[in-house]
Structure formats: structure tokens, C-alpha cells
């Protein structure tokens, strides 16, 4: 029986590649995104490639919407074996110019969204005594980032939440980990940069081949969902991050 994964933010950036990659591995993929048309597009591409996928519109900051996402996934596939909490937003604004509403919006999606999705997944996984919970964090959650203090704070929160939830769910045979992709060429990562400035970002390590490649991120997620990683929990994995 094929395993099922829910991927939030699955219609865009890194998460669309993860959706396609895991579907190619034979997983049932629930492409969950606030952008309904984008989710439908990625799910259709997967089905056109003989994979199994459905699209679900979700607002990760709304508990009712998250519960509906899980209900739709279970109704289609019977169970959810893993969840990848990838939905996120970013702004680049100096702290003295940052509206409170901007801080609240980002925290609602980046931090509260991970909490709500992990909570909903755990409620389904605990009775089954197994499951995998993965989230996207960032090296900026450790090193900080000027003009994106709220983003860095949210990712630091994801890292701490991951460590704490891993301890809590270990007795239920549920692993909880997060990945930090580093500088990756996505529309969100390019916010606030010219093309030249983006290529010179400080977090791209010297002596390495520039930006993180999306296939590297997909490969790490594949490993974290494999049997080889079934005893790995509470960990944060950094890809091509200098700090």
C-alpha cells in the first residue's frame, strides 16, 4: 500500500519540486496550498505523469481549514503517514518600518501554521503509533537576518518547536525534524534582491557550487521519510548554509 504525504505550500517554490519528486517515488501526495489553482496545477502534472495526487486548498493559520485538509486527505487515501509543513511567506522590511500587521501575518503562517499542521497530523498519527513530521526552517533562524527579523524569528521558532515536539512524540514512534534549504532560487528567496545581489548573498558558502539545488532538498526529504531515518528525530538539517 502506497504511503501518503501532505505537503503544505505544495504548489510553489521548493515544495512543488518535493511534491513531484515524492509522487515519482510512488507516494500519494496531497498538494495543499492557499493558492487553489496552483495546487490543482501541480496535482494535475503529477497525475499526468502517472502519479497519485489531489489538490486541497488550505489556510494553514486557520485550525478549521487545517482540519478539513486532513479530513480530505484521509477520505481519499485512508490515512496520512507523513506531513511536510512547507507553507511560508517572507518580507524584507527594516524593523523600524515594519507594520505590526506584517509581523502578525508572517507569524500566523510561518509559525502558527507549523503548529496547527503538526498538531492535526499528530492527532491522526498517535493512535496509529507511527508517522513523520517534517518542516522547513532556515539558517536565518540561527544566524539572524537584517530586514527580515520576523522571518528569522519564525524560523528559530520552528527549530525549537521541532526539538520539543520530537521529545513529546517519541513514545508514539513519530519522528519530527526540519530542513534548512539555504539560499535557493525561488521567487520568495529573491524578494528584495536584484539578480546580481541575489547571486552574492552572504549565506552562500565559499568554495561550494553556489545556490542549493532543488534536487538536493528533495533528496534529503526522501531520506528523512525512508526506513533508514526511522530513528532520527529532533534534528535540523542545513544545506549549503554558511552559519
Q: Could you tell me the CA-to-CA distances from 218 to 20, 76, 137, 140, 225 in Å, in that order?
A: 9, 24, 15, 20, 11
54: three-class secondary structure by DSSP = strand
Residue 135 bridge partners (DSSP): 85, 178
Point out the catalytic residue in the list 151, 223, 231, 237. Answer: 151
Q: Select from 182, 98, 173 the least CA-distant residue to 139.
A: 182
* CA separation for the pair 18, 22 (Å, rounded): 6
Q: Select from 184, 231, 196, 233 the least CA-distant residue to 12.
A: 184
114: which DSSP letter? H
Those residues with Cβ within 8 angstroms of residue 149's Cβ, 6 or more apart along the chain or in another chain:
95, 98
* CA separation for the pair 170, 172 (Å, rounded): 5
* CA separation for the pair 63, 119 (Å, rounded): 10
Query: What phi, psi does 135 have (nearest 5°)?
Result: -140, 160
Residue 77 falls in the annotated catalytic set:
no
Is residue 143 a contact partner of residue 104, using CB atoms and an 8 Å limit?
Answer: no
Query: What phi, psi does 71 have (nearest 5°)?
Result: -60, -40
Which H helix or E strand runs over 199? helix 195-199
Active site positions, annotated? 151
Amino acid at each position: 500500500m502506497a504511503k501518503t504525504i501532505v505537503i503544505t505550500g505544495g504548489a510553489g517554490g521548493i515544495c512543488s519540486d518535493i511534491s513531484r519528486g515524492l509522487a515519482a517515488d510512488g507516494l500519494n501526495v496531497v498538494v495543499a496550498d492557499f493558492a487553489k489553482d496552483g495546487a490543482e496545477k501541480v496535482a494535475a502534472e503529477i497525475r499526468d505523469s502517472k502519479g497519485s495526487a489531489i489538490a486541497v486548498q488550505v489556510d494553514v493559520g486557520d485550525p478549521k481549514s487545517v482540519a478539513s485538509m486532513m479530513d480530505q486527505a484521509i477520505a481519499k487515501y485512508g490515512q496520512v503517514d507523513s506531513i511536510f509543513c512547507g507553507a511560508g511567506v517572507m518580507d524584507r522590511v527594516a524593523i523600524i518600518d515594519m507594520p505590526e500587521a506584517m509581523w502578525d501575518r508572517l507569524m500566523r503562517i510561518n509559525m502558527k501554521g507549523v503548529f496547527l499542521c503538526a498538531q492535526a497530523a499528530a492527532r491522526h498519527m498517535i493512535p496509529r503509533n507511527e508517522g513523520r513530521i517534517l518542516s522547513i526552517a532556515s539558517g536565518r533562524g540561527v544566524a539572524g537576518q537584517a530586514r527580515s527579523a520576523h522571518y528569522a524569528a519564525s524560523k528559530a521558532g520552528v527549530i525549537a518547536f521541532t526539538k520539543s515536539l520530537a521529545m513529546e512524540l517519541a513514545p508514539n514512534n513519530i519522528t519530527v525534524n526540519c530542513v534548512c534549504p539555504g539560499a535557493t532560487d525561488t521567487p520568495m528567496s529573491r524578494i528584495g534582491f536584484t539578480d546580481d545581489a541575489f547571486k552574492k548573498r552572504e549565506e552562500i558558502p565559499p568554495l561550494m557550487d553556489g545556490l542549493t539545488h532543488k534536487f538536493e532538498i528533495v533528496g534529503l526529504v526522501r531520506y528523512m521519510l525512508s526506513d533508514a531515518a526511522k530513528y532520527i528525530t529532533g534534528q535540523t538539517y542545513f544545506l549549503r548554509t554558511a552559519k
